[in-house]
Structures are given as structure tokens and as C-alpha cells.
Structure 1
Amino acid sequence: MHPAVLPLALCALVVIAGRLGASFEISLEPEVLVVEHGGSIQLKVKTTCQDPKAFGNVETSIRKQLLLAQPTEVVVKLLEVNVWNSSIIYYFNCRGKRKLFTTALIVYRSLNRVTLDPVRELEVGKSHELVCRMENVAPIRNLTVILWKGGEKLHTKTFQQYSQDEPMPVQVIHRLTAQRQDNGQTVTCQAVLDLTPYGPCFNVTSEPQTLTVYEFPEDPKLEPHIYLEMGKTVNATCTVRHVFPSVAQFELALDDRILPHSVSRDGHRATAEVSLSHSGNFSLVCTVKVGPKERWKEAIVHSYELPSPQLAISNPNTSCNQVVTINCSSAPSWPPGLKLRLRSSRWPLRSWVEGAVHLELMAREEDDGAEFTCEAQLSVGNRTLRRSSATTTLHVTYQPQMDDGSCPPSQNWTEGQDETLRCGARGNPPPLLECTKDGEPFPAGVLRPVTRAHAGTYLCQATNPLGTTVRSITVWVQYHDPDLVLLVLLPVVVAVALLAGGVGYGVYYRKKKIRQYRLQERQKQLEMQALRQPGCSEATAALNGSAQKA
């Protein structure tokens, strides 16, 4: 049963019980009286009494109007009900007997407006109050309040335990722990004043409030120390992490001067250019706002001046064996801790020293082209800064020089091959080299075919503004005459070959004739012996086989 119906039902039971205990019955319509404050209500009292002299009425402090009075029915209209706690007495007299009943008059006020307090921006993970308000609610025991987030029911509150009849203000509070997914959700407050079935039902909802959720768990990140050379520009970057929504509002100020800045595409980083025209330490503050929450971070900008070192060479264009002075220094107002170093392309690297570097050297031929640089070093915080002067080249002049390596005094050429006269001279300025043979120019370094006429003595002279050097070169040409050799050797070879062939053939022919002669003489001797001795044939046969025994 609905809570609002319970007291009305009890009143009805009292009426019924009264009827059962009497010889006649009376009834009230409506059984439960529900009227708006300031309004009117019509009620009817009936009886089962059949006495034509029976009469009944309604007793109340409320102004009333009797609309019908009959022995069995009385109709009364209560006018301008303006009391909150009132009871109605109704009765009938029948044959000298009276039956009287009392019922409560339920007075309500229309529920026209429900207000949800403006919801401020909510921080993720924190608990926040949602407050729903109503003014002059009556009867409050029939009220139900529901807080909604989108389609999710957050909280329901009933007031059945309240007994007040007078109107009273209502405030319902619910604590919401914000989450990121709540961002953009709408919250509303719904109030239901239900007087059914004997009265109206009011269902009113507040204007929706959109939740804005943010998260800003940690301070911005900013390099605590920024080192800036006067007149230069450096980028200062301020970053945030784990913020929601992702776009944060940045402000960077250098000694209360707002700096223009750019924000990264993801909204988590701001960068500003910092420049200063004077030295010192300055405060750079990065302020970040996410939702209503603001955090800041401070850095110290160290502005310094690192002057360019100065290199001075007393005579960068000097002569050999002359003294040259080299100074490496800085501006008169150099900062404390500045160190200098002189760097040379011809020497091992030297160590840093505080104060100026002074050097004197005796210029030598090998010092020509040496490069010198003055370097400055300054330690600022945990950084080491360096700057260098322009490089200066030392030029050493000296007269022409030629030696066995550059101009060999003796050179061997071969006739028929391509050769060149090898001779070079060094000096500063570079010398002019001229070579001659027998008073005729013969340029060195030119490749040409050699003949035996190139043999002889050459004179080379190197000249520059500082002097002249002369060197003599002897050239030997190796050659031979191939025609004379052939003419002399070829007939000798042919004659020797013919002579050797003739001698060999004569010896061979003589030996052959001697063998033939001896064979013929032997054969003659054998024939003569065969004619002189009988049985010669048998003896002869024994020469090639076994002789017969005698």
C-alpha cells in the first residue's frame, strides 16, 4: 500500500467500525479527504437511517457551505482550506441516537519546482556534493526524491518517517566520486509527491546539470635552472602529465612579464622564447590551469655574458728567425672563473689557465702556415660554456732553398725514353725556378724524349724577393748503336757456323771412308786364306757355329 493511503485507510476503518457498532450506519464520501491548501473540497455524509426526522452535519473550524441537507444525506463544501493540521467531525442523529466520526483532512501544496544546485567542476577521485532543493513541500511523507546521472539512478530518498503536516523545505544531498567517464554526463533531480488514489501525483524534474570532470595530479615540469647568454635566445619548456581533459591553460612569466608561448598539439607542453639584455638571476614562473585547479613551477634564469676571446699576433707576416709575440686574452670585464687556452695546429693541446696567455717564439721555416686560436671557457652552474676567437695564420717568409731531395745533382736518363729534369725549390714567397743548358732555357718538370745530346750539365736558379739560389745538375744518358753490332757480329757468326759445319763434315766423311777401306781389306784377306787352305769351308763354318771334333 502507498504510504499516503495508510492514514486515510485507518480513518475509513474507524468509520466502518462505528457503523458496525450502531443500529444505523453513516458513511463519508470521499473516504479520504485530500485538498490543496487554499482550495475547496466537497464532502457527502450518508446514513442508513430511515427516520424522516433524521439529520446530520459536519463540524469544522473551516468555513463551510451547506449544499444539501436531507434525512439520509448531507452535502457540505469546505471553503478556502488554509489550515494544515485539521480534523473533520461528521455525524447523524437517528431516533434520538447520534453517531459521530472524526477524520483527518489532508492538505497538500502543489509541487511546482525542483532545483539542483549548480555543479562545479569535479576533480577525478574526489567526492563532491550534489544538492537537490524544494520549497514548502506538504505533506512531506508522500514525497520521493531521486538523483539521476544520465540513465543511472544515483540516490533515492523517501520521507515516510516524517509526520509533519505543515509545508517544509526539503534538501537532499548525495556525494559523488568523480571519474573520467563522468565528464559530459548530465545529472538531474526528480521529485514525486504522490497522493493517489485520492489526490494528485506531482512529478517534477530539475533542469539538467552537465558534469565537467578534470584531473591535475602533479605540478608542472620546468627545468629548474636555465642558462642564457646575454643577447641570445633560449627556449623554456613547461610540461604537464596525466591531466584530463588534455588541453591545459599555460602562462609563462619572466619577472612578472608574460611571455608569448606556443602549445603542443596534445596540449601537454608550452614553449616560450626567453631573452635578456642584462646579466643576473631572474625568476621564470610557469602557471598551469586545468579546470578550476591551478599549479605552478618556478625556474631561475641565469643570464651571463661570455665575451669573445681576443687573439693578437705581433707580426703574422714575419721572416725566418724573427721573434713573434702571441697574446690570448679576454675583455677587461670578463666574468670570474673565465679560463683561456691557446690552440695551435702545430703543437699539442695546452691546458686551461686563468688570465691571459702570452707566448714568444722564434719563427722558423716549418712554422709557416701554423694556425692559432684563442679559446675561452666559463663554468655556469653545471654547464661548461666555450667560445673561440677567429683563427689567425702565421706566415713565415724565407729565401729559396734547394737540396738533394728536391733537386738531385746527378740524374741518369736512357736514350729513347721520356724523361724530365727533376728540380724543385721551396721558399716563401714561392720562388721562380729557371733551368738552362749551355745558356739555353730548359724548363724543369717537362716530360720529353731523351737523346744522347741531353747529356751534360744543367744550371737551375730559384729566385724570390729574399734572394737567389743556384744549383748544378749533371745528366748522364745511357745509349747503344744497334746497327754496328749487327754488321760486325752477324758475319762472324755465319762464318764460324760454316767453318764448324765444314770441319764436322770432313771428319765424318774421313771416318766413313776408313771403315769402308778396312772392311774391304779384311774381306780380301779371308778370300785369300780360303784359296790357300783346303777345308776352308768347314773352318769358315765353325766361325759362326760349333766345330766338328777330329
Structure 2
Amino acid sequence: MASTRAKPTLPLLLVLVAVVIPGPGDAQVSIYPREAFLPRGGSVQVNCSSSCNERLYLGLETQWLKDELESGPNWKLFKLSDIGEDSSPLCFENCGTMQSSASATITVYSIPERVEMDPLPTWQQVGKNLTLRCRVYGGAPRTQLSTVLLRGEETLSRQPVDEDPKDPKDPKNITFTVLASRDDDRANFSCLIELDLRPQGLGLFSNVSEVWQLRTFDLPGTIPKLDTPDLLEVGTQQKLFCSLEDLFPASEARIYLELGGRMLTQESTNSRDSVSTTALVEVTEEFDRTLPLRCVLELADQILETQRILTIYNFSAPVLTLSQLEVSEGNQVTVKCEAHGGAQVVLLSGAPPGPPTPQVQFTLNASSEDHKRLFFCSASLEVAGKFLSKNQTLELYVLYGPRLDEKDCLGNWTWHEGSQQNLKCQAWGNPSPKLTCRRKTDGALLPVGMVKSVKREMNGTYECHAFSSHGNVTRDVYLTVLYHPQNKLAIIIVVAVLFTLSLVFVAIYVYNQQRKIRIYKLQKAQEEAMRLKVQAPPP
């Protein structure tokens, strides 16, 4: 029998009436199979039968290509081919003047053609939601189709691919939302589509999309920290430092410094979760008075920066001068301090107090107390609302004759014969004077500053003389040595007494030793007698 395409022109009202109104004599029409599960484009045989006993017309209403294979008085066997989608073929009968029908359910399945994932953003910030989109092409029935979001081989989420009556066409868009973390950096994401036909005994079919790698980054809530003074002095070398902590991945970050719009030569360091950069700047007079300093950090598609205005200044130390650095006692010396470049002298030691001026000076008569006197000069300069200061010092040398005072060289000394003594006699002066002490009677020298055993012959009056190229001075020193006459008889008596006492001590010691020996021998004899008495036989 030739294949025919069924005419879908049977009135819907007639079909509904046939379903609810039985034929004559309760005639019924049936269809087999009632349910069929087919691959897209497949075929199925459908049997229509009736219990009608009158004039019967039996047919099959379907939208697919059908062939009538066999027939009998109350039945017909049809083959439906090239079935493209889910449908419900309808067996109907005309039994006499009455009509009835029965329908079957055909479910069509197809393996998913492919699944695609949209490319991931170049960078994703940690703590922000990331939306991943997958597009599913093909696959039926949709009720048994699901999409899985994979991170590597780990399943993050699963969603069914439900049929949308408003949008039944392919592709089907599936959306996943993931909260990005540091652990997601360099992770591979993909979409897996699964058609589960195991309940129908057919197995699990799947397809996977292209794999995309995700890069994540994290930035702190702070900006880079600049560690540098606001003021830079001409002629100095200044270290500029900038850093930022608690960022990820620190190895991918770039940090640099710009001064006056010019990038500096610098050395950057990337550690586990921080970055820093250091630059050395030679501050010259070519710099403008003010320059912007920028620290810029670049990570992912983010830029963080810090800016500070630096002030360049030139401040020379004040010039401190003495009319003479070395002067003889009694001469005048002029002390002068000068400041330059807008600075003011605020202090000059020795000068009378007064308001700050560019120059301060005064004159003094040099004395021995001024020898090695330090003169201090301080100048101040206001820069960007801050007062800076610089100092200068000079030392004055005063030449003066020897000094031999009571406190440095005592006039009276009393020593005991045989004692060890040190004659402390110090002469002062510039240049340092030489000092000698001689006895007035015979010119004998008295060692100064040396430990010496005192003898009675050292007794006498000495003249100490200090001299230098700037004069000399003398001072008398009186040395008295105390001693006692020797008594030989007393010494002999003491020695004799000591000798006698020694003999007595030796005699007593020997006597005690002899007594202990006798006592010991007596004890031993008694012990022996007792032993013999015990061993003797009884009478």
C-alpha cells in the first residue's frame, strides 16, 4: 500500500465528541502502543482496532508519514516514519452513525549536538559574583536534560534544561552564578550537558564545552602607601619608597613611582601578598620648587594611586667665622655668623639675645677660660610652613702662660717613712708647660707623678717650676717625712719570747703524743687477755 501523508483536517470538535461518546453497542476503539519512545527521525508501528459489529470505518490521524501495512475486519496496522518531534497519533472509527477515537503518546529523543560557554572575563575580582553562561544546542526530551557547571572535574552546580513554551527554539541559555575567590585563580571552568535516558534503558549521553581559565584578583580597601618626606633638599640623595599590602596575586602587580611626570629608575619587590618599590633621587637645582610624586599600582584592570606634592628647597648651613682661631691671652676675637638664601640667624652662643637677622657678631677678650671654647651658631629657614634649622660650630684656641694653683699642686705634704706615695703636682697652660721640683738646699729632684718609697732623706723644701714659651711660674712645696728611732733591745726580747713559746708548744705536743701511745698499748693488752680467758678450757 502506498505511503500517504495524513490530512490534518479532521475537525477538532468531532475528535472531542468521539472521545466521550461510545459507538453503537458500546463499541470502543483502541490504539497500541499507547506510549512510544523513539530517536528523532525514527519510525513506529501503530495498531488501531475496534469492537464495532456494524458497518465500520477505521483510520489513523497523524502528522507524520504513514503506511498501512496490514488490515483486518476490525483492525489496521500502520507504520509511522520520519518522526521529528513529540506527537499524539489518533486512531478513530466510524461505527454506523457514531464515532470514537483513542490516542497514543510518542516521545522523541535526540542526543545534544553541542554546548558552548561564553568566554570568561580577563579578570574577576574576589568577593564579586561571576555570571557564567552556557548555550545548549539540541537534546530532547528537555525534561531529562541537565547542564552541569564544572571547575576542573569538580561539579559546582547543576540545572535542568526546562522547555520554555515562549522560547522553544535552540540554543537554550543556562546561567550560573559563582562567588569568585582566591582559590578560583587559574581554575578551569566548563559546561557539561547530560541527557539521562537510563530510565528508558538507553544510557547517559553527554557533551562538554570548551574549557576557559579564570583569573581572579583581590585589592585591599587602601591605596598605596608613600614613605618619603614632603621636603627635599638640593644637593642630597633622597630615598623614595612606596608599598601596598594584602593584595592578590602580588606577583602579577606592577608598581612604579613618577616624580614630576617622569618615571624614576627604581627597584620593585613582589612578595607573597605585598609589593613595594624604591627609588633614589639626586636632588639638584634643576628641579622645580614643587613637584608631584605619584605612586601607581596596576593589577588586573585596576589602577590604584597615591599622590603627594614635594617641595624642593636649598638651605646652606650658616657661615661661622672667628677673626683668629688661635690667639694669645688678652687679645680680642671677633665671632661672626652669617645665613644665606633667606635664612635667619636665630642663635649665636656668647652674643646678646635679639631678633633673628641674616648676620650676628660680637667681640670678646680672650682669656684662659676661653681655651677650647665651642662657639655655636644656628640658622632657621621656613619651607612650606615648616621651620628647618642648620648649625655650625668652631673651637677657639687661647695661648696662655703656666698656671700652678693650690688645688693642682698642694703646698704641704706629710709622708711616713717607707710608705709608697705619688706626688700630684699639675701645671696648666697652652702650650703645655714643663714642670720640675728641686730642693732648695741642694737642688735634689723630687719625682712628680711617680710612686716612690719614702725615705727620711727626702725631707725638705722644694721649689716647683713650670715654664713654657708664654712664661713661667714657681711654687714652694714643703715635704715632711715622719720616722721613729730603732730599739734593738726590744726586738731581741720579742724574738726570745717568741722562741721560748715555740719550745713550750713543741714539748706539750710531744708529751700528748706519747700519752696517747701508752693508752693505746694498754687497751690492746687488755683485749688480748680477755681473748685468752675466753679460749681457756673449763676446770
Aligned partner of 1:372 among 365, 370, 375: 375
Look up the equivalent residue of 2:329 and give its one-letter code.
C
> Superposition pairs for residues 81-120 of structure 1, below 5 Å?
110-120=111-121
In the TM superposition, what is the alpha-carbon distance from 1:394 to its structure 2 partner? 1.5
Q: CA offset at residue 403 of structure 1? A: 4.5
Residue 314 of structure 1 corresponds to which residue in structure 2? Answer: 323
Distance 1:95 1:233, change over 3 A: same
CA gap of 1:272–1:432, structure 2 versus 1, over 3 A, is same
Amino acid in structure 1 at the alignment position of 2:362? L
Q: 1:242-296, CA deviations, whole angstroms, 9 ceiling, x for partnerless residues?
A: x456767241222340553444644235241342423433333333345544322
Equivalent position SS for 1:168 = coil
Following the alignment from structure 1 to structure 2, what is the Cα–Cα distance between the partners of residues 174 and 140?
18
Q: Which residue of 1 aligns with 2:362?
A: 359
- Distance in 1 (CA, whole Å) between partners of 2:142 and 2:418 is 135
Q: Distance in 1 between matches of 2:265 and 2:300?
A: 22
C-alpha contact (below 8 Å) 2:22/2:98 kept by paired residues: no
SS of the residue 1:111 aligns to: coil
Aligned to 1:526: none
Instruction: Tell me the residue number matched to 1:170.
Output: 172
1:275 aligns with 2:284: no
Cα separation, partners in 2 of 1:475 and 1:215, compared to 1, 3 Å: closer
Aligned to 1:300: 309
| Alignment partner, residue 398 of structure 1 | 400
| Change in CA separation of 1:56 and 1:313 when aligned onto 2, cut-off 3 Å | same
CA distance in 2, matches of 1:222, 1:169: 51
Q: Number of residues paired by the alignment? A: 457
Counterpart AA for 1:312: T
Structure 2 Cα separation of the partners of residues 413 and 144 of structure 1: 118
Partner amino acid, structure 2, of 1:130? L
Question: Which aligned pairs between 1:148-547 and structure 2 lie closer than 5 A?
Answer: 154=157, 156-157=159-160, 159=162, 162=165, 167-178=169-180, 189-192=191-194, 197=200, 202-206=205-209, 213-223=216-226, 226-227=229-230, 228-230=232-234, 231-241=236-246, 243=247, 249-255=253-259, 256-257=262-263, 259-263=265-269, 265-278=271-284, 279=287, 280-289=289-298, 291-330=300-339, 332=340, 334=341, 336=342, 341-342=347-348, 353-378=356-381, 380=383, 385-389=388-392, 391-406=393-408, 424-436=426-438, 437-438=440-441, 440=443, 442-443=445-446, 445=448, 447=452, 449-451=454-456, 454-455=459-460, 458-469=462-473, 471=474, 473=476, 475=478, 482=485
- TM-score of the pair, normalised by structure 2: 0.64
1:535 corresponds to: none
1:273 maps to a residue whose letter is A
CA-based RMSD of the aligned residues comes to: 5.1
From the superposition, tell whether residues 211 and 118 of structure 1 become closer, same or farther in structure 2 (CA, over 3 Å): same
The 5 A counterparts of 1:47-86 are 47=49, 66=67, 68-71=69-72, 73-76=76-79, 78-79=81-82
Counterpart of 1:295, as a letter, is L
- CA offset digits 1:336-356 (Å, max 9, x no partner): 45655445xxx7998994523
Contact 1:416 1:449 in 2 (8 A): yes
Q: CA deviation at 1:315?
A: 1.3
Q: Normalising to structure 1: TM-score of the pair?
A: 0.63
For 1:81-122, what per-residue CA distance to the aligned partner results, in whole angstroms no more than 9, with x for missing partners? 66x697756678999999876767766654122223334444
Using the alignment, how far apart are the partners of 1:453 and 1:240 within structure 2? 83
Q: 1:443 to 1:348 in 2, by over 3 A?
A: farther
- Structure 1: which amino acid aligns with 2:175? I
Compare 418-427 and 216-225 and name the one that shifted more: 418-427
Moved more, 172-181 or 393-402: 172-181
User: What residue is the counterpart of 1:133 in the other structure?
Assistant: 135
How far, CA to CA, are the matches of 1:17 and 1:276 in structure 2? Answer: 101
Equivalent residue letter for 2:359? A
Go from structure 1 to structure 2 and tell me whether the alpha carbon gap of 1:202 and 1:460 turns closer, same or farther (over 3 Å shift).
Answer: closer
In structure 2, C-alpha distance between the alignment counterparts of 1:163 and 1:103, rounded to whole Å? 25
Question: Residues 424-471 of structure 1, C-alpha deviation per residue, up to 9 Å, x if partnerless?
Answer: 533211122344445746255264644468535x544433222344x3
Change (3 A) 1:169 1:404: closer
Distance of 1:453 and 1:262 partners within structure 2: 81
CA distance in 1, matches of 2:35, 2:352: 111
State, as a whole percentage, how many aligned pairs show the same letter: 21
Take 2:196 and 2:481, find their aligned partners in 1: how far apart are those partners? Answer: 138
Give the distance between the partners of 1:250 and 1:158, measured in 2 at CA: 44
Could you tell me which amino acid in structure 2 is paired with residue 397 of structure 1?
L
Whole-Å Cα distance in 1 between the matches of residues 384 and 478 of structure 2?
Answer: 72
CA distance in 2, matches of 1:22, 1:142: 43
The answer as to whether partners of 1:226 and 1:302 remain within 8 angstroms in 2 is no
Q: What 5-or-longer segments of structure 2 have no aligned partner? A: 1-14, 490-539
> Whole-Å Cα distance in 2 between the matches of residues 224 and 355 of structure 1?
34
Q: Tell me how far 1:312 sits from its aligned partner.
A: 2.2
Code of the aligned partner of 1:359: F
**CA shift at 1:221, angstroms?**
4.3
- 1:201-257 Cα shifts (integer Å, max 9, x gaps): 75445456666554435132424863333432324232334x456767241222340
CA separation in 1, counterparts of 2:70 and 2:45? 12
Native 8 Å contact 2:49 2:76 kept in 1:
yes
For residue 239 of structure 1, what is the amino acid of its counterpart? L
C-alpha separation between the residues in 1 aligned to 2:394 and 2:299?
A: 57
Q: Please give the alpha-carbon distance, in whole angstroms, between the structure 1 residues aligned to 2:251 and 2:312.
A: 32
| C-alpha contact 1:87 1:103 (8 A) present in aligned 2 | yes
Give the drift of 1:320: 0.4
- The secondary structure found in structure 2 opposite 1:159 is coil
8 Å Cα contact 2:224-2:297 kept in structure 1: no
